[in-house]
A and B are shown apart, each in its own frame.
Chain A
Amino acid sequence: MSDDEIPGLAKTSRAEIGDRFDAIVVPEIDVLYRVARSISYNASDAEDLVQDTLLRAFRGLGRFDGRYPRAWLLTIMRNAHSNQHRRQRPTLLRHDTTPEVDRRNPPAPSAEDVATASMAAAWVADALDHLSPRLRQVAELVDVDGLTYDETAALLDVPAGTVTSRLHRARRRMRGRLERHPDFRSEH
């Protein structure tokens, strides 16, 4: 085996793996970080989680068939997240009961942030806050982070039908709450 071959992956050169990594994994870093922030306790944990996911993806790239890269990466992230929390604390995926990083209520927002935040955004944050953690997580992953149902299912390790039913329930509840705001329908 030449120096350029990855151990255990005969005929796969280092350059080839590097190119695949650039083509398949690197374009997903923003999405991975956004999702990691949704499921981590803090920004530092989120960054560690993405780093671990990237490393695992690199190691597994030779065995990846190239289909649905985002779902593949989210599955890797799920496993990395489980390991991270097995070491630190109970996992929040699947059996979560506690909300994690609250991205819509960041600590100490600037006066400018407060002034420019629209009422609609505040109502939506309020509606999200009143969901159970399980419903809120799916609403955030699909409607805020932009994952598909299948990608969310891969991340949470639940059937796509479960994602659909949780998401629809979440939206129905949020709509019910937003209906109480008399200006919701005229705001947009």
Chain B
Amino acid sequence: MRPSDVVDMFRRKGGTRCVEVGRRIQGFLDGGLDADAAAKVAQHLDACRRCGLSADDYRRLKSALNEAAAPLPAEPLQRLRAFAGELAANGTRYE
């Protein structure tokens, strides 16, 4: 990162500084900010190319992680569902 980039991070774009958005960007992408805070972050992301790219990176990462979930093997799930069915029907045997 160049010195000018560091200075740039403390400038306001879209009403908010990059450093503030950097702290909130993940909460924003997870939908964890209140409406007012989310609107400020969104405004900044529209105005700041670097933070916009950063948000895109996190979106890609989240999407790739979400896709990384391997399908669950069927047999253990069938056994567990059968066990649950047995509990629901005759659970007092297990008391």
The answer to whether A26 and B88 have CB atoms under 8 Å apart is yes
- Whether B66 and A144, one on each chain, are in contact in the complex, defined by CB atoms closer than 8 angstroms, is yes
- Given the interface contacts A26-B81, A29-B77, does A144 sit within 8 Å of B69 by beta carbon? yes
Minimum CB distance partner of B29 in chain A: A171
- A80-108: CB near B (< 8 Å → 1, else 0) gives 00000000000000000000000110100
List CB contacts (< 8 Å) of B33-68 with chain A: 53-54, 56-58, 60-68
A68 within 8 A of B: no
B95 engages A7 (CB within 8 Å): yes
A171–B92 Cα distance when bound, in Å, is: 46
A74 smallest CB distance to B (angstroms): 16
CB neighbours (8 Å) of A51 from chain B are 80, 83
Q: Which residue of A lies closest to B79 (CB)?
A: A47
A149 to B26 alpha-carbon distance, docked (Å): 13
A residues within 8 A CB of B76?
33, 43, 46-47
Q: A7-B95, A33-B76, A185-B56 are in contact. Are A121 and B83 (CB under 8 A)?
A: no
Check if B84 is an interface residue, CB within 8 A of chain A.
Answer: yes
Q: Are B80 and A50 in contact (CB under 8 A)?
A: yes
**A121 surroundings in chain B (CB, below 8 A):** 64, 67-68
CB atoms of B92 and A14 under 8 A apart: yes
Q: Which chain A residues (51-88) contact chain B, with CB distance < 8 Å?
A: 51, 54-55, 58-59
Give every chain A residue within 8 A of B95 (Cβ-Cβ): 6-7, 59
Main secondary structure of the interface of A (DSSP, over half): helix
Main secondary structure of the interface of B (DSSP, over half): helix
Would A188 and B64 be within 8 Å (CB), given that A21-B84, A104-B70, A175-B57 are in contact? yes
* Chain B residues near A179 (CB-CB < 8 A): 57
A-B contact pairs, 23 of them (CB 8 A): A6-B92, A21-B91, A26-B84, A26-B85, A29-B80, A29-B84, A51-B80, A54-B83, A59-B94, A120-B60, A124-B61, A124-B64, A124-B68, A143-B62, A144-B65, A144-B66, A144-B69, A171-B26, A175-B54, A178-B57, A179-B57, A185-B57, A187-B60
Given contacts A37-B72, A43-B73, A54-B80, 16 further A-B contacts (CB under 8 A): A6-B92, A14-B92, A18-B89, A19-B88, A26-B84, A30-B72, A33-B77, A54-B84, A104-B70, A120-B60, A127-B61, A149-B30, A164-B27, A171-B61, A171-B62, A185-B57
Residues of A at the B interface (CB closer than 8 Å) are: 6-7, 14, 17-19, 21-22, 25-26, 29-30, 33-34, 37, 43, 46-47, 50-51, 54-55, 58-59, 103-104, 106, 120-121, 123-125, 127-128, 139, 143-146, 149, 164, 167-168, 171, 174-175, 178-179, 184-185, 187-188
